[in-house]
A and B are shown apart, each in its own frame.
Chain A
Amino acid sequence: MTSPIIEMRDIEKHFGNIVALAGVSFDVRPGECHCLLGDNGAGKSTFIKTMSGVHKPTRGEIAIDGQRASFASPRDAMNAGIATVYQDLAMIPLMSVTRNFFMGREPTKGRWIFRRFDIERANQVTLEQMRAMGINLREPDQAVGTLSGGERQTVAIARAVYFGARVLILDEPTSALGVRQTANVLSTIDKVRRNGIGVVFITHNVRHAMAVGDRFTVLNRGRTLGTAKRGEIKADELQDLMAGGQEMVELEGSLGGTV
């Protein structure tokens, strides 16, 4: 088994007297999809923000390739190859796919006052990268606003991968999508994983997690309830862990197992 790209050990995060994370351990290996499951308020957001350099952990260790690391800012984490695709995607609907793809990191050619945005190359790269993700753009200057939610998600993922992500953190990428688009995003995750990138897939949907996950970690009230490998755990067990066991069993009984 390959060694982890990033390893988080016993991470604690306190906000004043609120304990958001009370000792979470988590790691991501190249080419795997590690699902982080948890109900609302379980601490998923705080945890990924710690991993992506937004928060500094109160206690605990972060190691990159086995070396201890500390992120002062999201930029540090990005430089270490940790890319996060948040729910709002950092995408501008009025701008073209290419302009969004290279926003803030425009390739240039020429020098001095002739230094210019190399738009031909940018268009070409965007088309190639999107095709590699299974999306044939009609034209690279198509506005992002014309894309579906799933396609936008794919642009954001392709962008992160192109700019050298080794670990890709996806924050609830499927939560606002329809069935077909969810399937598209899940297949994109699969493609990314096959390129040797470690994917952290945050979701509260067990079925989505089971579809692509290699390992599953459940967060509940700021703690990990353990990590399970694919095949070791069943969907309803994960569901129970997320909800904290007891109550869910009672609820499910009254709902006739539809949740």
Chain B
Amino acid sequence: MAAQTQQADERLRKISLFARLMKRPELGAVAGLVLVTVFFIFTADASMFSLAGVVNFMTPAAQLGILALGAALLMIGGEFDLSVGSMVAFAGLVFGVGLVSFGLPLILAIPLTLAVAAMMGALNAQIVLRTALPSFIVTLAFLFILRGLSLVGLKWATGGSTQLRGIRQAVEGDWLLPLFSGKAFPGLFVWLAERGMIDTFRSGAPRVTGIPVEILWFVGLTLLATWVLLRTPWGNWIFASGGDRVAALNSGVPVRRVKIALFMLTACCAALVAIITVLEAGSTDARRGFQKEFEAIIAAVIGGALLTGGYGSAIGAFFGAIIFGVVMIGLTYTQIDQDWYQVFLGSMLLIAVIFNNVIRKRVTGER
């Protein structure tokens, strides 16, 4: 026995901490974030990395990140959803109509929006599973269907306009509002400002009055998704369903149930983003969430998710989304033309995919 333990130890030592880190799916995203941060430290105005600057880029990062988390889990489960961007617009419509046209309180409008989105997600899943068509095609169809429905629905609800206003008035004073809109912990920030620990205006009021709630949602959901993936049977089933459907089925994994749940979850992530951004804007329009499906998938891929499924991480998608925020907002702090953003987006995707393939070979020992 002693000899055996020793033998095991000998082999253990061959794997250094470095080699272990090299195998983490998040590695690419973390490295990418370090890279863009260093880039902007040298090129951008110093205020970008002040508290106000960080909140500035974390807010869009969080809105994209919530979508990216759903997309990442779904990709690990072996499917795609190209309809999440349109789902944001569609869920925004449902939410707006519920609040403005039917005068529902948030306690009803939010569950209604989530339920409708989940239903659409389940519909996507059912079509994918029953026809055995690639989810890429099925959800591409829904990209157009949902965008079209949002346009038609908005015109119907407003009598011809593609923008529905009056949401701010409809939710004013609603007790649920602080959970989905505005900034959290204002008292804490005033307290910090009084002690001179954060920047203030000349009047003594803090420059940053709180943490935008979407950032809290983003962090909370990342932790939850990571816990589910790594520490629950469901997580194992998600990896297995995406890794090899047949092998998973033969081992007793309820693959269908896993995939339906993931499609519903992705749609609900889109609905949550719709709820938060509609409340923030005070109106909803048909262009909401435009092309977000691509950004969400790219963030998931930068975060280490394989296009073939079965591998990836929620923490990776978290950092992938932050990279987006840093670059999108960071460019405004520099002299660089902001239209470079799209060039960056495409390049990042390409590098990430190539990098992920290398990582996968390392993990599986393919040659």
Q: A92-B247, A145-B363 are in contact. Are A103 and B253 (CB under 8 A)?
A: yes
Q: Are A103 and B232 in contact (CB under 8 A)?
A: no
Interface flags, B229-248, vs A, CB<8A=1, else 0: 01111011101100110111
Tell me whether B311 is interfacial, beta carbon within 8 Å: yes
Q: Are A91 and B360 in contact (CB under 8 A)?
A: no
Interface flags, B205-247, vs A, CB<8A=1, else 0: 0000000000000000000000100111101110110011011
Interface flags, A70-113, vs B, CB<8A=1, else 0: 00000100000000001011111111000100111110100000
Please, which residues of chain B bring their CB within 8 A of the CB of A91? 244, 247
Within 8 A of A (CB), among B284-310: 306, 310
Tell me whether B257 is interfacial, beta carbon within 8 Å: no
A128 to chain B, nearest CB (A): 11
Q: Are A108 and B11 in contact (CB under 8 A)?
A: no
A228 to chain B, nearest CB (A): 33
Q: Are B231 and A146 in contact (CB under 8 A)?
A: no
Please, which residues of chain A bring their CB within 8 A of the CB of B311? 94
Tell me whether A229 is interfacial, beta carbon within 8 Å: no
Q: Are A117 and B236 in contact (CB under 8 A)?
A: yes
Q: A138-B15, A145-B366 are in contact. Are A94 and B360 (CB under 8 A)?
A: yes
Q: Are A104 and B248 in contact (CB under 8 A)?
A: yes
Q: Cα distance A181–B243 when bound, in Å?
A: 25
Tally of chain B residues near chain A (CB < 8 A): 34
What total count of A-B pairs have CB within 8 Å?
91
Tell me whether B169 is interfacial, beta carbon within 8 Å: no
Q: A104-B237, A143-B363 are in contact. Are A138 and B4 (CB under 8 A)?
A: no
Tell me whether B365 is interfacial, beta carbon within 8 Å: yes
Q: Are B365 and A143 in contact (CB under 8 A)?
A: yes
Within 8 A of B (CB), among A105-146: 105-106, 108, 115-117, 119, 131, 136, 138-139, 143, 145-146
Q: Are A102 and B236 in contact (CB under 8 A)?
A: yes
Contact of A138 among B14, B227, B250 (CB under 8 A): B14
Q: Cα distance A146–B361 when bound, in Å?
A: 9
Q: A92-B310, A99-B239 are in contact. Are A104 and B252 (CB under 8 A)?
A: yes
Contact of B310 among A75, A94, A136 (CB under 8 A): A94
Q: Cα distance A143–B23 when bound, in Å?
A: 10
Q: Cα distance A99–B306 when bound, in Å?
A: 18
Q: Are B364 and A145 in contact (CB under 8 A)?
A: yes
A199 to chain B, nearest CB (A): 20
Please, which residues of chain A bring their CB within 8 A of the CB of B21? none
Q: Are A93 and B364 in contact (CB under 8 A)?
A: yes
Please, which residues of chain A bring their CB within 8 A of the CB of B360? 94
Please, which residues of chain A bring their CB within 8 A of the CB of B310? 92, 94-95
Q: Are B243 and A94 in contact (CB under 8 A)?
A: yes
Contact of B248 among A103, A143, A145 (CB under 8 A): A103
Please, which residues of chain B bring their CB within 8 A of the CB of A106? 233, 236
Q: A145-B364, A146-B364 are in contact. Are A95 and B15 (CB under 8 A)?
A: no
Chain A residue with minimal CB distance to B244?
A: A92
Chain B residue with minimal CB distance to A148?
A: B365
Q: Cα distance A131–B8 when bound, in Å?
A: 10
A95 to chain B, nearest CB (A): 5
Please, which residues of chain A bring their CB within 8 A of the CB of B15? 138-139
Q: Cα distance A106–B239 when bound, in Å?
A: 13
Tell me whether B131 is interfacial, beta carbon within 8 Å: no
Tell me whether B7 is interfacial, beta carbon within 8 Å: yes
Contact of A95 among B227, B243, B366 (CB under 8 A): B243
Please, which residues of chain B bring their CB within 8 A of the CB of A88? 246-247
Q: Which residues of B contact A (CB under 8 A)?
A: 4, 7-8, 11-12, 14-15, 227, 230-233, 235-237, 239-240, 243-244, 246-248, 250-253, 306, 310-311, 360, 363-366
Q: Please give 7 more A-B residue pairs, beta carbons under 8 A apart, in addition to A86-B250, A92-B310, A145-B363.
A: A88-B247, A92-B248, A94-B239, A103-B253, A104-B252, A116-B231, A119-B231
Q: Which 5 residue pairs of A and B lie closest in terms of their CB atoms, listed nearest first?
A: A145-B364, A104-B252, A92-B243, A146-B365, A106-B233
